[in-house]
Amino acid sequence: MATGTVKWFDDAKGYGFIERADGEDVFVHYSSIVGEGYKSLAEGSDVEFDVEQDSKGPRATNVVVTKAAPSGDATSMW
């Protein structure tokens, strides 16, 4: 299983990219995120995933968030 960090994810379009530890970007579609309900990935979240090759390059499957991205600056709450 590969690991990486969510580079960006567009909720409206349902896809984005994960940056692997080796620097390679891997495409991710919302349908490949493991979980129930609304599926999305927050930029900066650490993830584990399998990689499949398709005609356009590497694609992440079975994506699981291992560490959620920080929710923002704590001072912004005050």
- Could you list the residue range(s) of the whole structural domain that residue 13 is in? 2-70
The model's pTM: 0.85
Structural domain contains residue 46: yes
Mean pLDDT of 33-55: 95
Query: What pLDDT band is residue 45 in, cutting at 50, 70 and 90?
Result: very high
Q: What total number of domains does the chain contain?
A: 1
Where residue 64 sits, what CATH number does that domain have?
2.40.50.140
pLDDT (tens digit per residue) in 12-34:
999 999 999 899 999 999 999 99
CB 60, CB 53: distance < 8 Å: no
pLDDT (tens digit per residue) in 52-73:
999 999 999 999 999 998 875 5
Structural domain contains residue 43: yes
- Segment holding 51, helix H or strand E: strand 46-54
Structural domain contains residue 75: no
Q: How many Å from the N-terminal Cα to the C-terminal Cα in the chain?
A: 40
Cβ atoms within 10 A of the Cβ of 9, count?
20
What is residue 69's predicted lDDT score, i.e. its pLDDT?
Answer: 87
Structural domain contains residue 14: yes
Structural domain contains residue 77: no
